[in-house]
Amino acid sequence: MNNSLFTQLLDLACGAFLLAAVVVLWRRELAAIVRLFALQGLALAAIALLLGLHEDRWDLIVVAAGIGALRASLLPYLIRRALDALVADRTRDQDGARAYTYSEEVRETEPLVNVAASLLTAAALTLLAYAVARPLVELDPTPATRALPVGLAVVLIGFFVLVTRRRALAQVVGFLLLDNGITATAFLAASGVPLIVELGVSFDVLLAVLVLQLLTARVREAFGTTDIDDLRELHD
Amino acid sequence: MNTVGYTAIALQVGAVAAGAPLLTGLMRQTRALLEGRAGAGLLQPWRDMRKLLRKEPITPVGTGPAFRWAPPLLVATSLVLAVLVPLVSTVTPVHARADLIVVVALLALGTLALALAGLDTGTAFGGMGASREMTIAALVEPTILMSVFALSIPAGSTNLPVIVAGAVDQPARLTSPAGLLAIAALSVAVLAESGRLPVDNPSTHLELTMVHEAMVLEYAGPDLALVEFGAQLRLAVLLGLLASLFAPWGIATSASLTAVLLALLLVVLKVALLGMALAAAEVFWAKLRLFRVPELLAGSFLLALLAVTASYFLGGER
3-state secondary structure B157-168: CCEHHHHHHHHH
A111 backbone dihedrals φ, ψ, rounded to 5°: -65, 155
CA-CA distance, B193 to B140, in Å (whole number)?
A: 7
Cα dihedral value A212, A217, A218, A221, nearest 10: 160
CA-CA distance, B6 to B201, in Å (whole number)?
A: 37
pLDDT beyond 60 at A92:
no
CA-CA distance, A109 to A191, in Å (whole number)?
A: 39
**Contact (Cβ atoms closer than 8 angstroms) between residue B66 and residue B117:** yes
Smallest Cβ–Cβ distance between A119 and the set B180, B299, B314 belongs to B299
CA-CA distance, A150 to B136, in Å (whole number)?
A: 30
Numbered residues of chain A with Cβ closer than 8 Å to any chain B Cβ: 4, 7-8, 11-12, 14-16, 18-19, 22, 26, 114-117, 119-120, 122-123, 126-127, 130, 133, 137, 143, 146-150
pLDDT by 10s per residue, chain B, length 318: 578 888 888 888 999 999 999 999 999 899 889 988 888 888 999 999 999 999 988 888 888 888 889 999 999 999 999 998 888 888 878 877 888 889 889 999 999 998 998 888 888 888 888 888 888 888 888 898 888 888 888 888 888 888 888 888 887 777 777 888 888 888 888 888 887 777 777 777 776 777 788 888 888 889 999 999 999 999 999 999 988 888 888 887 777 888 888 888 888 999 999 999 988 888 888 777 777 788 888 888 888 888 888 887 765 444
**Contact (Cβ atoms closer than 8 angstroms) between residue A191 and residue A235:** no
CA-CA distance, B100 to B105, in Å (whole number)?
A: 9
Tell me the pLDDT of chain A averaged across its residues.
81
The CA-based diameter of chain B, rounded to the nearest angstrom, is 64
Measure A23 CA to nearest chain B CA, in Å: 8
Lowest mean pLDDT, pick from A60-74, A78-92, B14-28: A78-92
pLDDT band at A235 (very low <50, low <70, confident <90, very high): low
Smallest Cβ–Cβ distance between A119 and the set B172, B178, B302 belongs to B302
pLDDT beyond 70 at A22:
yes
pLDDT beyond 70 at A56:
yes
For A23, name the nearest residue in chain B, comparing CA atoms only: B299
With CB atoms and an 8 Å threshold, state whether A119 touches B180. no
CA-CA distance, B41 to B29, in Å (whole number)?
A: 6
- C-alpha radius of gyration, chain B, whole number: 19
Using an 8 Å CB-CB cutoff, list chain A residues near B178.
Answer: 15
Contact partners, residue B124, CB within 8 Å, separation at least 6: none
pLDDT beyond 60 at A46:
yes
CA-CA distance, A192 to A200, in Å (whole number)?
A: 13
CA-CA distance, A53 to A71, in Å (whole number)?
A: 20
**pLDDT tens, A95-127?**
555 555 555 667 776 778 888 888 888 888 988
For A149, name the nearest residue in chain B, comparing CA atoms only: B313
Compute the count of residue pairs across chains A and B with CB atoms less than 8 Å apart.
81
The interaxial angle of helices A58-69 and A195-223, nearest 10 deg, is: 10
Residue B20, burial from CB neighbour count under 10 angstroms (0-12, 13-18, 19+): buried
- pLDDT at position A101 is 55
Smallest Cβ–Cβ distance between A14 and the set B177, B298, B317 belongs to B177
**pLDDT tens, A145-188?**
888 888 899 999 999 988 888 887 888 888 889 988 998 888 88
For B291, name the nearest residue in chain A, comparing CA atoms only: A116
CA-CA distance, B278 to A187, in Å (whole number)?
A: 40
**Contact (Cβ atoms closer than 8 angstroms) between residue A33 and residue A158:** no
With CB atoms and an 8 Å threshold, state whether A7 touches B316. yes
With CB atoms and an 8 Å threshold, state whether B295 touches A26. yes
CA-CA distance, B313 to A220, in Å (whole number)?
A: 43
For A12, name the nearest residue in chain B, comparing CA atoms only: B177
Residue A121, burial from CB neighbour count under 10 angstroms (0-12, 13-18, 19+): middle
For A219-225, the CB contacts below 8 A with 24+ separation are: A219/A168, A220/A86, A220/A89, A224/A101, A225/A101, A225/A104, A225/A105
Q: What is the ipTM of this complex?
A: 0.76
**pLDDT tens, A25-43?**
888 888 888 889 999 999 9
